[in-house]
Each structure stands twice: as structure tokens, then as C-alpha cells.
Amino acid sequence: MADFTQTVPIDQVGIEERVARLNKRSIKKESKVQALKLALSMVDLTTLAGMDTPGKVRQLCQKAKEPYAGLPELPQVAAVCVYPNMVNVARKALRGTNINIASVATSFPSGMSTLESKLEETRRVVEDGADEVDMVISRGEFLKGNYEYVYDEIASVKEACGEAHLKVILETGELQTYENVRKASDLAMEAGADFIKTSTGKVKPAATQPVTLVMLEAIRDYFYETGRMVGMKPAGGIRKAKQAIQYLVLVRETLGTDWLTPDYFRFGASSLANDLLMQIVKQKTGVYQSADYFSND
């Protein structure tokens, strides 16, 4: 295990300048259409509310299968992301498709629970059919400097996941500094994360581009050292197609084209899909359709 008491310095001004520079890329014509479809294929269509019902989840799964009836050749989204007690519902609704089921676990969103119950929850959702587990780290322990605890926790959850993919949510909005984001990313990857993810969506700020860039650079360094490709998932606050394209530019120019696939990059978002659809239709027809033409699931 690497020494996580050491800090990898991150220059805040430099990170933000780099993002501003990347945002100047002008993505037009075919490259825009390609980006929109790619982004759609990377969406983890998400519903994580206390008032979620089986009916709500079933309808969301329906949308995942057929996002827009007017354009049947559109890509499907990558996964549907739900609370643990909805995994069963989603599994039935998505049977026969290759859309993954992602479940949050480990006492999402706070993570304030015992390790035993987190592991139990993880095993349960995997048993119920989750292909991907989105866990949260113990931010309190992390901020306290108890890195070993966080590392061990991630490693045990990873073990409990078995074949399921593990996404580790850092909740960057609570980590305060870019250096902490970097440290938590390194820790998660070392402990076996398949993906690192910015946020639960329950804390503001959720995903931001500078935070995402810090995490992508951590993934890059880890890849240089180990050759293992770790995925990235910004989540929360990404609502517009334009933002999504900006994120893709970040990925392309930091990690290269091998990461431009749902296997290694995801958007955790609920309303993004509709804006992507609206833009795709606009690119095809030349005019914007009313928002009422797109399903509100």
C-alpha cells in the first residue's frame, strides 16, 4: 500500500485554467453528433429518492430501453442506478437487455454505518442482481486522516462485490481540497475500485469539471504505474448536453480515446438524457422540439 500520508500537490489555479482551456474546444457537426450519442450511451440513468416506488423504477427502466421512440437507432444508456430495495424491480424490468443495474450501497449517501452492515448490504444487492455497486467512502474517517480504515473498507467492499463492478464515490463536495480529492482517488484505486465517482448527488457541489480533471489525472498516473484502466464517473449537476461534451473533451485529452466508452466513463445523471436526446433530434431535424416530446421519467 502506498503511503497516503504523503500529499500529491495539486495547483488549484492550474487545474481551473486547464479546464477553461479545454472548454474552448469547439465541437461541431459530425463530431458533435458522435459526442451526443456517445454521452447517451454512458449515462447511468438514476433515480435515488426516498419516495421512489417500483412503478417509478419500472418506468425509468422503460426509458433506458427506449429513450426516444422517434429515433429507434439510438444507443441505450449504460445502466440504471437505483437504491438497494429497487434492484429486484429493475432486474425484472431490464431482463433480456444488456443494460446494467447499478445499485448504491454502503449506507448511501452518508456511509454512516458499521462495516458489517455495509458488507451485508453489498452482498445483498449483488445477490439481487446488481451488476455494479456504487459505494460511498467514510469521509469522516478520511478527513480524520484514518486512511487505512478507508482503504480497508473499500478493499472489503470490493471483495464483497465478487464479480460486480465497484464504483467508489468520494463525495468530493465534502473533501474540501483538490489534494484530498487526489488522495481519495489514489486510495480508492489502490484498494481495487473499478470506477471512481465524484458524488452522491446529495451534497453540493456535486461533480465539477476541475474535480473531474483531478480525478482523471489520478487515473492517468495510476495507469502509467500499473497499466490498469480505472473508470471515471462524474455524478450530479450535469444536466446539459453541452456540459457532457465538455466532460468528454476532458477525458479525450487527458486519458485518450481508450477511455471513451461506457466501460470506462459514465455520467451519473437523471435529466441529462433528455437534453442529449433533444440535441440529437435537433441535429437531425434542424429545429428544437418542445420538451413535451421527451419522456419525463
Partner 1 sequence: MADDQQTAEPVEEKPFKPSSPSSKLNFDGFWEYNDAPQSTDSIEIKDQYDLFIGGEFVAPEKDRYFDSVNPTTEEPLTSFAEATQQDVDKAVKAARKAFTKSWSTLEAKERGKYIFRLARLIQERAREFAILESMDGGKPIRESRDVDVPLAAAHFFYYAGWADKLDYAFPGKKAEPLGVAGQIIPWNFPLLMLAWKIAPALATGNTVVLKPAETTSLTALKFAELCRDAGLPEGVVNIVTGAGQTGSAIVNHDGVDKIAFTGSTEVGKIIKKSLAGTDKRYTLELGGKGPNIIFEDAPVDQAVEGIINAIFFNQGHVCCAGSRLFVQEGIADKVVQKLRDRMETLIVGDPLDKNTDIGAINSEQQYNKINEYLELGVSEGADMYQASCELPEKGYFCRPTLFTNVGQSNRIVQEEIFGPVLTIQTFRTAQEGIDKANNTPYGLAGGVWTDKGSKIFNVSGKIRNGVVWANTYNQFDPTSPFGGYKESGEGREGGLQGLYPYVKLK
By CB under 8 A, which span of 34-42, 90-98, 137-145, 203-211 interacts with partner 1?
Answer: 34-42
152 is known as an active-site residue: no
Report the alpha-carbon distance of residue 76 to residue 37 in Å, rounded: 9
- Which one of residues 1, 14, 205, 271 is an interface residue with partner 1 (CB under 8 A)? 14
Taking the alpha carbons at both ends of the chain, their separation in whole angstroms is 43
**13: which residues sit within 8 A by CB, 6+ positions away?**
none
**Contact flag: residue 98 with partner 1 (CB under 8 A):** no
- Which one of residues 62, 140, 203, 223 is an interface residue with partner 1 (CB under 8 A)? 223
Question: Catalytic pick from 63, 118, 158, 197?
Answer: 197
Shortest separation between residue 26's beta carbon and partner 1, angstroms? 4
Nearest to 207 by CA among 243, 179, 183: 243
Report the alpha-carbon distance of residue 27 to residue 34 in Å, rounded: 10
How many other C-beta atoms are found inside a 10 Å radius of the C-beta of residue 73? 5
The footprint of partner 1 on this chain (CB under 8 A) covers a number of residues equal to 36
Question: Catalytic pick from 134, 186, 275, 297?
Answer: 134
Report the alpha-carbon distance of residue 5 to residue 2 in Å, rounded: 9
**2: which residues sit within 8 A by CB, 6+ positions away?**
186, 190
**Contact flag: residue 127 with partner 1 (CB under 8 A):** no
- Cell (9 digits) for 226: 500499473
Shortest separation between residue 10's beta carbon and partner 1, angstroms? 5
**Contact flag: residue 43 with partner 1 (CB under 8 A):** no
158 is known as an active-site residue: no
**Contact flag: residue 256 with partner 1 (CB under 8 A):** yes
How deeply is 105 buried, as exposed, middle or buried, from its count of CB atoms within 10 A (0-12, 13-18, 19+)? Answer: buried
Report the alpha-carbon distance of residue 239 to residue 251 in Å, rounded: 18
**Contact flag: residue 6 with partner 1 (CB under 8 A):** no
Report the alpha-carbon distance of residue 120 to residue 159 in Å, rounded: 12
**55: which residues sit within 8 A by CB, 6+ positions away?**
none
**Contact flag: residue 37 with partner 1 (CB under 8 A):** no
Q: For partner 1, which is the closer residue by CB, 89 or 214?
A: 214
242 is known as an active-site residue: no
Q: For partner 1, which is the closer residue by CB, 12 or 117?
A: 12
**Contact flag: residue 3 with partner 1 (CB under 8 A):** no
Q: For partner 1, which is the closer residue by CB, 75 or 129?
A: 75
- Binding residues (CB under 8 A) for partner 1: these are 8-11, 13-15, 17-18, 24-32, 34-35, 38, 217, 220, 223-227, 248, 252-253, 255-258, 260
Q: Which residues are catalytic?
A: 134, 197, 233
